[in-house]
Structure 1
Amino acid sequence: MNFLAHLYLSQNNTNILIGNFIADHIRGNNFLMFSKEIQQGIFLHREIDTFTDAHEIVRKSKRRLHKRYRHYNGVIIDILYDHFLAKNWTNYSAIPLDIYTQGIYNLFTKKTTELPVKSQQFITYMIEYDILYNYQFEDGIERVLKGMNNRTKGKSQMDLAIEDLKELSPELENDFTLFFEDLQEFTNQKLKKLLYNP
């Protein structure tokens, strides 16, 4: 899953949310300088990624994509699933998406100096382009995909995946809806273990 889903699945626990957000920028056991709850957020992120990668519905979504993306298809599905979460946000949260995302931006602005440098750099980009809020729009997703393609120096062809989104949106959205039910149940169980069985 991508950033919006990881944040949402943290269930408004600030330290879990921070750990969940920075986890991609933490390698190996380089988390030991963080508080216990932030470490738990990092562990939760890794558990979510493992569960997602192994899930049959996610694998089906990857197979729907054009073959040109090769091993980048997982990254694309992560981004497209965030699109469907943002697009259908009212089904998952009583807090409007614009208010929720501004709360996230405010939190990370206050905490930025405590976070890894790569996380700080992404926060600046995320806020400047209002990435989390704009995930709901096709042009917002297109901007993210173009940015990811630039990062791979054009090798991934991820900028072309906006075509897959337009062509396969109903099928991929259905995949997301079914998968996200399973993921929420899995995450709820993991959070209980992390928070109440330290």
Structure 2
Amino acid sequence: MKSFVQAFVLLALASSFASAFDPSPLQDFCVAIDEPKNAVFVNGKFCKDPKLAKAEDFYFSVKMPGDTNNPVGSNVSAVNVDKIPGLNTLGISAARIDFAPYGQNPPHIHPRATEGLVHFQFNIGKTNALAFAGLSSQNPGVITIADAVFGSNPPINPDFLAKAFMLDVKVVKDLQAKF
């Protein structure tokens, strides 16, 4: 019993020295600006003087549908810190996805964020659909899986991909040629 208590105390002390979280921001908001004159650099962007912040710094409208006339039949309009400067340091962004009939948003990852299941989908007439996604970063980035696998530069050896995906090497070469 004594060794259990000692181990428990040691573990408790050791865990109190470690923490894994984002630090609290030094201010409530930090509207991003491109001009560094008399500005503070926070989270990859320069900050506007908080006294000069306006409502427009926290607003953006994506009214027009994106062009879905492409091979995947969708268009993603990112709404991030570059479009809404007030998102700087808040750790959020969003995306509007427009879909043509049978369109898709290809498999992808966001290397600097997780994608929340804050998807709302609306059918617009009989031809198009619209969805929204929330992301846990002000600038999440995106890597499309097919581009990374079949369109990499330098290309991945077709023999390796054929074995990994259980495909004929000719099929892999044909897929690589499309990218």
Report the TM-score, using the length of structure 2 for normalisation: 0.20
Identify, as 1 or 2, the structure richer in helix.
1
Identify, as 1 or 2, the structure richer in strand.
2
Report the TM-score, using the length of structure 1 for normalisation: 0.18
Whose RCO is larger (CA < 8 A, sep 6+)?
A: 1
Rg larger for = 2
